[in-house]
């Protein structure tokens, strides 16, 4: 396969997503009477199917040995090149978000996950760090099951510290949910070499939380209770008669209440900087399940972010 033919293959996959043809049998888009000439003038349908079936991104002869220590071995080399490009191609803003993402994938994979509360349910789980303003993916780590090397750290702490490597010492803020967040993590991120602040929800079973902040009895709805420990602030907000929301922040030093929403400023900051990263603009790419389809979903999003950023900087209107 030549470089030109490979570019054509990727172009057809992107076109199929744009035309919403990616769930059709491949013979329909390649039928000029149904989909016009754009598909079949690029390559034949049988050639397209053959390339997707046979395309590999590593040395198959050494894959078995590499797979003993890395479940991601079939696309690890391409993935590392991709992540290096993500880190170097864009300078993120002041607010970053770390969260998990389930990329839809029903192919054969020994670390494919089933998460019933996700829209796609079946897929590959990635832990991502994105720029909150643009949804640009700065870094990502695939969850590969038991072979994941967390460097001796609890997984939640490992993901936050590893993903934020390119931003260490920058005084940026990271927003996380209660699976990642903890008091020890917040304390360590304030120190060298990290120098990062954090805002996120907390689980109620953390031993550092005073019991009075966990139990909602004898408190009016809409009231807040604050706890301070140096630069760390914990707030307990009673949202309903039997529900208390706990958040931890290292970038809020005072018990400020928003005058409009009547909620603590920590909650307003969390709501403004935490969202389903990439989900709102993610595309489903690929006429069939191939090993690169999940990466291409993200590539299209971040390529468009870079395009829009550069066009807006010159005062033009993006397409």
pLDDT digits (tens, 9 = 90+) for 151-175: 889 999 999 999 999 999 999 999 9
DSSP β-ladder status, 95-104 and 173-176: parallel
pLDDT for residue 287 is more than 60: no
Q: Specify whether 239 is located in the same domain as 96.
A: yes
- Please answer whether residues 273 and 97 qualify as being in contact, where contact means their C-beta atoms are separated by less than 8 angstroms: yes
Residue 43 is encoded by which pair of tokens?
Answer: 């390559």
Q: Specify whether 225 is located in the same domain as 246.
A: yes
What confidence category does residue 288 fall into, taking pLDDT thresholds of 50, 70 and 90? very low
pLDDT, average across residues 260-272: 93
pLDDT of residue 289: 45
Is 230 inside a domain boundary?
Answer: yes
Picking from 83, 84, 61, 85, the residue whose alpha carbon sits closest to that of residue 73 is 61
Q: Give Cα 85 distance to the centre of its chain.
A: 16
Q: Specify whether 13 is located in the same domain as 144.
A: no
Determine which helix (DSSP H) or strand (DSSP E) holds 138, and give its type and residue range: strand 137-142
pLDDT digits (tens, 9 = 90+) for 48-84: 999 988 888 889 899 999 988 888 888 899 999 999 9
Is 80 inside a domain boundary?
Answer: no
Is 172 inside a domain boundary?
Answer: yes
Half-sphere exposure of 212 (CA within 13 A, CB side): 7
Is 77 inside a domain boundary?
Answer: no
Query: How many domains are contained in the chain?
Result: 2
Q: Specify whether 151 is located in the same domain as 261.
A: yes
Is 261 inside a domain boundary?
Answer: yes
Count of CB atoms situated within 10 Å of the CB of 25: 13
Q: Taking CA 298 as the corner, what is the angle to CA 84 and CA 125, rounded to the nearest 5 degrees?
A: 90
DSSP β-ladder status, 243-249 and 197-201: antiparallel
Alpha-helix runs per DSSP H in the chain: 3-18, 32-35, 45-54, 60-67, 76-89, 155-163, 183-189, 211-214, 265-273, 293-313
Q: Specify whether 226 is located in the same domain as 141.
A: yes
Question: What value does the mean pLDDT of the chain take?
Answer: 88
Q: Specify whether 294 is located in the same domain as 266.
A: no
The residue to which tokens 């720029």 are assigned: 131
Residue 80 is encoded by which pair of tokens?
Answer: 């590392």
Determine the Cα–Cα distance for residues 304 and 135; give it in Å rounded to an integer. Answer: 10
Q: Specify whether 252 is located in the same domain as 133.
A: yes
Q: Specify whether 149 is located in the same domain as 288.
A: no
Q: Specify whether 124 is located in the same domain as 252.
A: yes
pLDDT, average across residues 76-97: 94
pLDDT of residue 192: 93
Backbone angles phi, psi at 17, to 5 degrees: -70, -45
What confidence category does residue 276 fall into, taking pLDDT thresholds of 50, 70 and 90? low
pLDDT, average across residues 111-129: 85
Determine the Cα–Cα distance for residues 161 and 152; give it in Å rounded to an integer. Answer: 12
- Segments forming the whole domain that contains residue 97: 90-273
pLDDT for residue 114 is more than 70: yes
Is 114 inside a domain boundary?
Answer: yes
Q: Specify whether 146 is located in the same domain as 205.
A: yes
Instruction: Give DSSP secondary structure letters for 162-223.
Output: HHTGGGTTS--EEEE-TTT--HHHHHHHTSTTT--EEEEE--TT-TTS-HHHH--TT--TT-
Determine the Cα–Cα distance for residues 278 and 250; give it in Å rounded to an integer. Answer: 26
Determine the Cα–Cα distance for residues 278 and 104; give it in Å rounded to an integer. Answer: 13
Is 82 inside a domain boundary?
Answer: no
Is 240 inside a domain boundary?
Answer: yes
The rounded percent of the chain whose pLDDT value lies above 90 is: 56
Q: Specify whether 258 is located in the same domain as 125.
A: yes
Between these two residues, 19 and 193, which has the higher pLDDT value? 193
Determine which helix (DSSP H) or strand (DSSP E) holds 124, and give its type and residue range: strand 122-131
Determine the Cα–Cα distance for residues 246 and 178; give it in Å rounded to an integer. Answer: 9
Backbone angles phi, psi at 155, to 5 degrees: -60, -40
Determine the Cα–Cα distance for residues 126 and 130; give it in Å rounded to an integer. Answer: 12
pLDDT digits (tens, 9 = 90+) for 203-248: 999 999 998 898 877 888 999 999 999 999 999 999 888 889 999 9
- Please answer whether residues 231 and 250 qualify as being in contact, where contact means their C-beta atoms are separated by less than 8 angstroms: yes
- Please answer whether residues 286 and 16 qualify as being in contact, where contact means their C-beta atoms are separated by less than 8 angstroms: yes
Between these two residues, 199 and 211, which has the higher pLDDT value? 199
């Amino acid at each position: 396969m030549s470089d030109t033919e490979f570019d054509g293959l990727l172009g057809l996959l992107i076109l199929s997503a744009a035309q919403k043809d990616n769930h059709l049998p491949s013979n329909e888009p390649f039928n000029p009477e149904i989909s016009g000439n754009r598909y079949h003038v690029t390559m034949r349908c049988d050639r397209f199917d053959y390339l997707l079936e046979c395309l590999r991104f590593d040395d198959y002869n050494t894959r078995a040995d590499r797979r003993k220590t890395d479940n991601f071995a079939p696309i690890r080399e391409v993935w590392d090149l991709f992540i290096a490009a993500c880190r170097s191609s864009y300078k993120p803003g002041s607010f970053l978000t770390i969260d998990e993402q389930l990329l839809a994938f029903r192919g054969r994979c020994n670390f494919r996950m089933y998460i019933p509360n996700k829209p796609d349910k079946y897929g590959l789980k990635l832990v991502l760090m994105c720029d909150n303003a643009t949804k640009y993916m700065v870094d990502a780590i695939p969850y590969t099951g038991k072979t994941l090397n967390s460097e001796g750290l609890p997984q939640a702490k490992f993901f936050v510290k590893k993903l934020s490597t390119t931003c260490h010492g920058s005084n940026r803020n990271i927003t996380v949910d209660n699976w990642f967040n903890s008091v020890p993590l917040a304390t360590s991120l304030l120190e060298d070499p990290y120098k990062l602040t954090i805002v996120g929800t907390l689980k109620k079973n953390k031993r550092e939380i005073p019991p009075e902040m966990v139990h909602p009895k004898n408190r009016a709805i809409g009231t807040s209770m604050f706890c301070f420990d140096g630069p760390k602030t914990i707030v307990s907000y009673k949202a309903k008669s039997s529900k208390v929301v706990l958040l931890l922040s290292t970038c809020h030093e005072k018990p400020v209440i928003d005058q409009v929403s009547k909620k603590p400023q920590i909650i307003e900051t969390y709501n403004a900087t935490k969202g389903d990263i990439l989900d709102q603009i993610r595309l489903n790419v690929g006429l069939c399940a191939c090993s690169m389809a999940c990466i291409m979903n993200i590539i299209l999003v971040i390529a468009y972010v870079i395009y829009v950023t550069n066009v807006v900087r010159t005062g033009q209107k993006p397409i």
